[in-house]
Structure formats: structure tokens, C-alpha cells
Structure 1
């Protein structure tokens, strides 16, 4: 096939693929998106050298859309690999900016799926490069919004207020740059709405939260707004209402949030991530309503049912898994506190243990879940489950307290974790696991306290079992001797094993 013949065929097939994408976005028909991606892949594989760059760009965009629908990490990883090639081979500054913007968006999508921070940092870096030589109008608006998205995610991960402030500024600029009738305006408004909600929630600013809610609601009725974006917009509006309820302590905002989230769940495709997100947040609203002093038995039962429904739709290694299992645990525990049913207490502890076991969760989330599981299990006289929970919490300590951590953050975490090792040892004693009590206490001490709480741990343990406390002192003496030898060995290695550079 000659380059001219390929060009003619590409025009026909590319137009068909674009029509399928439009059907997917406007009518939520995912099969058409599959056809479009397959078409782009064939065009890329068949492309002669003169058309290779253009065909690759189409495939990158198609793979990103496909990932948004399917959540398959292999798909977005392929888009990133192709994007890296495209950036390296870009023939001009404008082409490099275009490919960098696409690559940054792909890195952000993979970060959302895997939680790998390196992808998020690349998303910000390539997103900035995408603005270097970008045209005005819609294209620039999309690039501004995508960079704002990545910055907002970095704020959520690292709690850097400047990232969120910049995300809002960029989001405002993006919204100003896009026309009121262009389909992409709803998605740009959605990104800005989320950033405003986070800002308003952090500052307790009711006006900003109302702006966030209204921006998302207005975007659902924009001329030309995409059907596939409407569930997400309703979710954003609902979450803003949840934050308003938290700050203003008004049940009316919870009712509004519930209505919006139910609407999102009703119109979202069953396989789309938005339906899962809506169900997860319906559980959140149900728990908030169940926690009100005026909550009825029906509302408490609904909190349990909706929280269970949220765990049922979790994907493998879902980043929301810890949140969902913790939510189910809270719902069962609320019902246990109200009705004192032992089965609810057992299920609450089981759900907390499940949360602490989720590899997709952050170390802080998993540590807290394990500790709470231990505390609840001790309340209900289940030392075996308590030991399991405390052990899961202790297993994450090295990830929470590491040598490079800033001093103020280290001290804050130490304060939050104070007493964990003692509680774990106490649970072991209650469960007649004497050797494990020593291991738990020693592991916690080595990571958390060093020498500072040397005596308090022994005193507290001695109050439970004097013989065990004496044994603990003996073990510590041996460990300290080994630590001295270890320090000497490390020092020798540092002197003799120098970096050859």
C-alpha cells in the first residue's frame, strides 16, 4: 500500500472511529469505543513512515479513552510507552508540547489506577511541558485542566496547599478559555469543581463549597455536555453537599447529596468507574445519616446495606478498598453500639481486618484500620482477632516511620502511634500468646520510641504480668548488645565500601 493509498483509507477509517467515539461519549455505548480503539491500532500497525507519528497519536488518545472505560492498566501502560516514543521523536516544539500533554495525561490516569507516585510526578512535569507551545482556545483549555487535575491529585497525596491553589487558578483559566457550548466544558468544570470542594473543605469555607456544588450542577445542563460526564458531575455536586453538611450540621444537605448520588448511580454505565464511585459515596452519606442523634433503625440498617454494596463493586487492588471496608466496619459498629448485637461487632472487626490487609491502601490507612480492629476486638473479648489487628498495624510501622522523614512529621506520627506496641502486647497476654507479646512490644519499641519510653512499657506490662516484664528486660539487653555490634559493622562498611565515583 502506497502512502497516498494509506492516507485515503486512513481518512475514511479515522472518521468512522471518531463517530464511534462520539457515540460512546454522547450515548454511553462502550462497544463503539472498542471498535474505535481497534481501528486506531490497525491504522498504527499498517502506517507507512510518513504517517506513523499521526497514527501513533490517534492510538495514544484511543488507549486513554479505552482505559477510562475499562480500567485495564495494560492499556494505559501501552499509551505511556507510545507517548514516550512520540515525545522523543517530535519534529517541532509544538509537536513536542502536544505529545507531552498526551503523555502527562496518560501518566495521571495510570497513577489513579496504581497509586505509583512517580507517575503523578511525571504527569505534572509533562503537563507543564504541554503548555510550552500550545495554541489558544479549546486545546489550551484542555491542557490547563489536565495539569490542574494532576496538581490537585498531588495535593491530595502530599497535602501541599500551593498545588491546590495553582490547580484552582489553572482551572479558572481553562474554563475561561473554552466556549460555553463546547462538549469539553463540562469535564473542565468538573475538574475545577473538585478542586474548589477540597479547598472549601480544608478551610471550612461554606461559600466556596456552594460554588463547587453549583458549578458541577450547572455543568450537567450545559448545551452539548457529554452524557458520560454527567454521573461524575452529580457525584462532585453530591460530595460538595456532604462537606456542607459536615460544616453546617444540617440534614438537608445530606438529603441533597443522597439525591445527587442516587441520580449518578442510576445513569452511570454498570461497568463504568462512576457507578462504583457513586455507590461508595452513597455508603458515606448513609453512615453520616446513621450517625445523627435522630437516626432511625431503618437508617442505621441502610448504612450497613449501602456500605456492603460498596465493597461488592470493588475492583482488584482498588485504591478505594481501604475506605470501603473501613466504612462497612463503621456501619456495623454503629449498629452494634445501638443494638448490642454480637454479630455486628464480629463483622465490624472482620471488616477492619480486611481494610488493614488491602495492599492498595496507604500505610497510614492500613495502620489505623489494624489498630482499630485490635481495640474493637478487645472491647468484645476477642483477643485472637485483636492480636491479628495489632500485628497488621505493627507490620506497617517501617513504612510510616522511616529515617528520611522530616522531624515535625515524624513527631506527629509518633504521637499518634503512642501506646500501639503496649496495646498489642496486652492483647497477646490476654490471648495467652506470651512469646508474641515480647515480639510485638520489641518491634514497636524499635520503630517508634527507641529508648525514650523504655521504662513505661515495662511498667505497664508488669502490671499485667511481672514475669513477662522481667523476660522483656532480658530480651532488651540482648537486643541492645546486638545493636551496638550492628552499629560498628555499619560504620566499618561505610568506611571501606565507598562509592567509586
Structure 2
């Protein structure tokens, strides 16, 4: 700090010597901002800091004639005057008292949206409030609320409630300002979540209001009733809120500026009632109010809020109608809101909504640019949110989902790790969060993606635990209940695929049936829920052979396809599921025309969409089932090789494709091709037994492939390639126990060259082995702990990769020198 003070003083001296740019160049301004940021309210500040900052802002005022610089200078000089008045410029000493009025400073802080001036205003108002002047107490509370909204400090909020309460108590019963103090108290209590006291204070404010304060009092009471309706779902609160807001709008003269905010609140109320009861009229009325509000006068903050809510209204209509053009309108509205909100406390909220909307458009249209832009917007929203702000959980969760989507697109494990960490933090932050079920649901979905990639039972158990709690947390009649039931069904199905327990599959079907039953026929979510029910029924058909399940699965896919909007990105995935079911039905019935339709459907499904690799695998199965000669066999083998070589696909799917290709080639008599396919399968085995997995998972996956090396060797012997048969057997055996050997061999090589690195390699191996053998505990706390452990394992694995890469580089350098 001493160096910063000296540099700031030098800049002022250069200004005094005639260098006018000395106090405006970006480096000096940044230096002053950082020096000011080190000042904490209530903490002592050194005289040199106060003097340097005062002189700097006074010089800027003299050059730029900006009143905010003068106010900042006077704020610093006022503090300096308390201990060293001799250091304050003599011409200003007599003005200190006039220019350090807290209320005046607060107005400037609000006009300039300047947190530094706001801190100074709060300090002055705190001192002035000792005289118990109701107006000063009210201004202090207003300043504290403003700082709370920026920094998220709970202490500021509690102190604001206390100041407003004190101001209202001190005001005379007939004082027209008493309604103002009570209205402010209503807002502070709402912000704190004390909805019953907020409604009470709001009612008192309306009773005390005169003509000049009635509109604000009615609006705040309407907001308080809306908050309580959201908490309790009591319809009388919704109706009273609607009546109160209607009265507030009617009390205005024409399109006065408060109208834009009142219409916003009314629209939010109608949307909340739609969420609870599903009446389309509420949704349309809310949309009409917001459309009207976009044309009304208001400040940038009010207009940004209007366009933000207008965008949300378009999202609601898209979810109800499924019209992608409506989604585009939502993004346009959010972009206008973002432009208006730049530099305000509302910016992060708008960025989150815009990011989420672009994720939705990516999911519908598959445009990677939307996903990339969305992640950038969501990262910015998280960065702009204070660590203790209550909305941080929701913003982290949304970022996690977007990163998980990008992992599904690219297969980059770093995205999946980052998604898991973001959603874990969101779940931990949301212990008392009103949308805890949503945070848990998002975490469970990301854990499901982790499990799809890893095949680890621990990951499947974790996803199931989290999603079961999310489903149990949401009220039965909440609009999100269907989504949580659907997600729980997915988790049960994945658990069955790992354990083989019939009860898991029955639980999955029950959950999916419940999800479908909870949504109306017109819901854009219904096709997806039908598809998931169909996949689970198809899975039970494979387990039990019940043709009724297969027929119902195909019917679900047909119905889901019919319900998709034109251009939906879900169409390829739905086609892939339908094609797989049609293949099964054709095989059972020996129906060639049905099989031909399955192939046609699967060719379309494998051409695009996030599940194109899975659809490609289904296509290969259909082509091999059709037995359509050389062209069909070649197309099937090409499809299987494509799946096996896809880095973005789950390892188990890749391995299945390679072994299927080997078996098909061997049956067709192409032993050379069979050997190549089996070699590819053996090369994929390490992905199923990697050190990310615990020992039990490694043994499970490798146990499933115990005969693979023998099958590959048998094909090589039949192809008259005995040496290659031996090599394949050795390769398979090496995978089964080669991790320990490989690491110990690497450590031995490294110990000669770099003993310290060798020690670290062995430490990493021991840490990973200890995790692999440890048994996790039950419950949510254990799940969250295990996610942190998984993050640590990822870090250890990355470090191990770096050490092993260093060995390879060193080896290559040595070989180069010997040549």
C-alpha cells in the first residue's frame, strides 16, 4: 500500500506541474481504485491513504469538472479532517461540513451507481442516525439495502430492517412520511424472506398512505402478497395481490413511470399462478402485460427488468407451444435486457437467463455457437455474483448443465469435471434454498452423465440418491414434479443396467409413467417423457422377452415423434429409439418390410443429433439383422467402426461396437477383419478399467470381457496367424494386471533419471489405489463428499499423466542423442 500511495502522490505532483493526463491515464485510475478497494467500512484508514486519494480526486475534479470526483475528494478529506485538519486544503476546510451530508452523498451514489461513494454515504448516515431522525434512519436503510443488493451482505439487510423499523416507530401518526418508512420496511422484509411481516408492514403502509405515497405502498404490498403466494400457494393471497396491483395501476395518471414496474409485478404474479394451476389464460395475460410494458417510459433498470421478464414469458410460451420462432423472440428480448442492464446489479440475472435460453436453442437446433456463447454468458454471471449471494447456487447449477451438454458434444472430460464441481457447489449452497429440488435435480443429471461415461456403480448410486431426494423434495402438485420423476426413472434404469435387479427396472417404469401422466398432451416435455418410458419398456423386453413391452415401447416412440415440433433437435434421438424397437419387432415377426423401415429410420437418426453415435450402433444392428448382402454388411461394419472410434461415446458402447464387429466379421468368414476388430476391442479395455474407477468397478467391467482375448486369439489362429494369436492373448492378459506393472516399470525407469519424480509417481499410485479400495457411506452427505473425492482423483490422474509424459519425453530425447 505504501508504494501505491507514493505512486498516486507522484501522479498528482505531475498534474500540478502541468501534466494534465497524469490523473486520467488508465494505470493511475486503476491504482486509485485498488487503493480505495482496500478501505473497509468501520476499519481505521491511514492518513497517507486518505490524503493521497483526496488529492487525486480533487485534481481530477479540477481537470474534468465531474461532481462525483469532488464528492469523493470531500469524503476522504472529511475523514482526514477528524485527525489531521492541517492536511486538508485550506480552501476546503470550511466547506467540509456542507459537503459531507450523508443524504446528499447517497443521492450522488445512486445517480452514479458508485459503490465507493455509497460506502462513504453509509458511514456518514450511520453517524447522523445517532440523533434518531426518522428521515436519516430511512436514508441509511435505503443505502444499506442498495449495498446488500450489490454485495449480498446479510448484516446490511438486518441493519436496514432495524433502521426502517426505528424510523416508522419514531414518526408521528399523522406524518405523511410514515407510509414511506413502512413501504421501505416492507421491501427490506421481503428481501430477507420474512413474508408474513412484509405483508403486515405493507398493509400498514397502505393504511397510512396519502395520495402521493399510495401507489408505492400498494405496489409493495402487492409484491409482498406475491412472495407469500409463492411460499404457500394460497389462492386468496394471489387474488389479493392481483386486486392490490390493479388498484396501484388505476391510481396512476396515464403511463407514469411507476406503471412499467407495476405491470411487471402483475405479470410475474400471473405466471406464478399459471405455474401452480396451468391455466393458459394466465400465461397469455402475463405476456400481454409485458408486451405493453416494453413500450412504457422508465429508467434503464426498469426497462431491463421488463425485457428480462418479457423474454421469460416467451420461454414459457415456447415450453407450452414448442414453436422455435418463439424461442428466438425470447433470446431477442434477453439480448435487449442485457444491453439495458450493462453495469447494473441486474446484469448477472439477465446474463443467466440469456445463457439458459441459448442452451435451450442449442438443444433444439444443435448449433454449437449457441452452446459456446451460453457457457461464456453463464460463466460471466457466476463471476459477477458475490460468494454469499443467495442466487449463486442457481447460477452455478445452470453453468454445470451447460458444461455437461458440451461434454456430451465433445467428450472432453474436463468439461464433465467442471460441470460436476459447479453442480456440487450449487447443491451445498442450497440447503435453505427455495429451489433445492431443482439444484439436486441438476446435480443428479450431471452425475448420470458421469455414470454413463464411467460405468461406475458409485456414480450410479450417487445419481440415484440425489435424484430420489430431489423427487421427494418437490411438492406433488408442483409443475416441476413431472421432470423430477422422469429424471428419477432414468436413474433407476441406469442402475438396473449395472445391477440386473428387476425391481430397479419396475421402479423406473413406474416413475416414467407418472411423469407422462403429470403433463398435458400439449406440453413440449411430453414427447421426451414418452421416449424415456419407451426406452425403459424396451429394456424390460430385453430382460423378460415380454412382447407387450416391445409393442408399448414402439407406440411410445411413435406418439413422441408425432408430438415434436417441426425442426426439433430431439427428432434424431426419437428416431433412433423407434428404429431400435422396430428392429426388435421385425426380428420377432420375421417382417422384412418392418426391418426396411427400421433401417430407413436409423439412417436418418444417425446423420445428426446428440445421440447419433448410439443411433449408428442401432443402425448396424438393423443392417446385420437384415442380412442384406455385401452392401449392407459393409455399411454395418463401417457404422460399428465409427462407433468404436468415437471419443465422445461411452467406453462400454465403443467396446460393444468393436466386439460386435469382430463377431459379425468372423461369422461372415472375414477372419482378417475379425482380428482387426477384436484388436480394437482389446485396445479399448483400459477405458473400462481406468484409475478413475474403484476396484469393484474395474473387476466388474473386466469380468464381462474375460473371454475377449481368447476369442480374438481363436480368430487369429483360424486365419493362420499364430504369432498374432499369442500377441493378442498377451495383450488381453496385460490389460487385466498391467496397470500396476506399467506404473512400477515407469517408476523404475524414472528413479534412475529423477528420484524425486519417481517418489511422486509412487505416491500418486498409492493415493489412487487407496481411493479405489475405500467403501463410500450412504446418504447425501456421502454423495457430496464422493464428488469432491472424484475431483481429487481427476487431479491426481492429470498429474500422473504429466509425470508419465515426462518419462516419454526424456526417453525420446535419449534415443535422439544416441542416433
TM tier relative to shorter chain: 0.7 to 0.9
Question: Structure 1 residues 486, 162: closer, same or farther in 2, change over 3 A?
Answer: closer
For the residue of structure 2 that corresponds to 1:358, the secondary structure is coil
Question: Residue 43 of structure 1 aligns with which residue?
Answer: 337
Q: Where in structure 2 are the equivalents of 1:104-123 lying within 5 Å?
A: 104-115=400-411, 116=413, 117-123=416-422
Q: Where in structure 2 are the equivalents of 1:438-477 lying within 5 Å?
A: 440=728, 443-448=731-736
Q: Distance in 2 between matches of 1:396 and 1:272?
A: 34
Question: Residue 97 of structure 2 aligns with which residue?
Answer: none
Q: CA deviation at 1:260?
A: 1.5
Q: CA deviation at 1:377?
A: 1.0
Q: CA deviation at 1:265?
A: 0.8
For the residue of structure 1 that corresponds to 2:331, the secondary structure is helix
Ranked by relative contact order (alpha carbons within 8 Å, sequence separation 6 or more), the top structure is 1
Q: CA deviation at 1:263?
A: 0.9
Question: Residue 166 of structure 1 aligns with which residue?
Answer: 466
Verify the 8 A CA contact 2:579 2:618 in the aligned structure 1: yes
Question: Residue 604 of structure 2 aligns with which residue?
Answer: 312
- Structure with higher Rg: it is 2
Deviations 1:281-330 (A, max 9, x none): 11222233234xxx3332x54245324523423366x6634432332232
- TM-score, normalization: structure 2? 0.49
Question: Residue 395 of structure 1 aligns with which residue?
Answer: 683
Q: CA deviation at 1:120?
A: 4.2
Q: Distance in 2 between matches of 1:402 and 1:148?
A: 23
For the residue of structure 2 that corresponds to 1:273, the secondary structure is coil
Deviations 1:351-371 (A, max 9, x none): 323322223222332223222
Question: Residue 381 of structure 2 aligns with which residue?
Answer: 86
Q: Distance in 1 between matches of 2:695 and 2:382?
A: 40
Deviations 1:437-463 (A, max 9, x none): 676566445434669xxxxxxxxxxxx
Structure 1 portions without partners, runs of 5+:
452-479
Q: Distance in 1 between matches of 2:506 and 2:719?
A: 53
Within the alignment, does 1:27 sit opposite 2:321 as a pair? yes
Q: Distance in 1 between matches of 2:441 and 2:692?
A: 33
Q: Distance in 2 between matches of 1:100 and 1:450?
A: 40
Choose which of 361, 374, 379 in structure 1 pairs with 2:667: 379
Range with greater deviation from structure 2 (305-314 or 352-361): 305-314
Q: CA deviation at 1:19?
A: 3.8
Within the alignment, does 1:329 sit opposite 2:620 as a pair? yes
Question: Structure 1 residues 411, 98: closer, same or farther in 2, change over 3 A?
Answer: closer
Verify the 8 A CA contact 1:172 1:192 in the aligned structure 2: no
Within the alignment, does 1:296 sit opposite 2:589 as a pair? yes
Within the alignment, does 1:70 sit opposite 2:365 as a pair? yes
Q: Distance in 2 between matches of 1:54 and 1:402?
A: 40
Deviations 1:149-184 (A, max 9, x none): 3344444443332431331232122243x53xx4x4
For the residue of structure 2 that corresponds to 1:134, the secondary structure is coil
Question: Residue 102 of structure 1 aligns with which residue?
Answer: 398
Question: Structure 1 residues 120, 315: closer, same or farther in 2, change over 3 A?
Answer: farther
Question: Structure 1 residues 204, 306: closer, same or farther in 2, change over 3 A?
Answer: same
For the residue of structure 1 that corresponds to 2:443, the secondary structure is helix
Within the alignment, does 1:215 sit opposite 2:521 as a pair? no
- TM-score, normalization: structure 1? 0.76
Verify the 8 A CA contact 1:104 1:126 in the aligned structure 2: no
Verify the 8 A CA contact 1:152 1:167 in the aligned structure 2: no
Question: Residue 261 of structure 1 aligns with which residue?
Answer: 557
Q: CA deviation at 1:249?
A: 3.3
Choose which of 753, 761, 764 in structure 2 pairs with 1:493: 753
Q: Distance in 2 between matches of 1:498 and 1:284?
A: 51
Question: Residue 426 of structure 2 aligns with which residue?
Answer: 127
Deviations 1:218-268 (A, max 9, x none): 1233xxx76321211211232333244345532222222211210111121
Question: Structure 1 residues 289, 7: closer, same or farther in 2, change over 3 A?
Answer: same
Q: Distance in 2 between matches of 1:255 and 1:399?
A: 36
Q: Distance in 2 between matches of 1:207 and 1:360?
A: 30
Q: Distance in 1 between matches of 2:360 and 2:744?
A: 57
Question: Residue 10 of structure 1 aligns with which residue?
Answer: 304
Question: Residue 469 of structure 1 aligns with which residue?
Answer: none
The number of aligned residues is: 453
Q: Distance in 2 between matches of 1:358 and 1:41?
A: 36
Verify the 8 A CA contact 1:280 1:324 in the aligned structure 2: yes
Range with greater deviation from structure 2 (194-203 or 20-29): 194-203
Within the alignment, does 1:239 sit opposite 2:546 as a pair? no
Verify the 8 A CA contact 2:659 2:677 in the aligned structure 1: yes
Deviations 1:182-229 (A, max 9, x none): 4x44434432443455567753127524522430331233xxx76321
Question: Residue 56 of structure 2 aligns with which residue?
Answer: none
Within the alignment, does 1:287 sit opposite 2:547 as a pair? no
Verify the 8 A CA contact 2:304 2:336 in the aligned structure 1: no
Q: Where in structure 2 are the equivalents of 1:399-438 lying within 5 Å?
A: 399-402=687-690, 406-418=694-706, 420-421=708-709, 423-424=711-712, 427=715
Q: CA deviation at 1:42?
A: 4.0
Structure 2 portions without partners, runs of 5+:
1-110, 114-297, 761-819
Choose which of 199, 214, 228 in structure 1 pairs with 2:524: 228
Verify the 8 A CA contact 1:290 1:303 in the aligned structure 2: yes
Verify the 8 A CA contact 1:110 1:119 in the aligned structure 2: no
Q: Distance in 2 between matches of 1:104 and 1:215?
A: 27
Question: Structure 1 residues 99, 130: closer, same or farther in 2, change over 3 A?
Answer: farther
Q: Distance in 2 between matches of 1:10 and 1:450?
A: 60
Q: What is the aligned-residue RMSD (CA, Å)? A: 3.8
Q: Distance in 1 between matches of 2:536 and 2:717?
A: 46
Question: Residue 55 of structure 1 aligns with which residue?
Answer: 350
Q: CA deviation at 1:421?
A: 4.5
Q: Distance in 1 between matches of 2:492 and 2:707?
A: 38
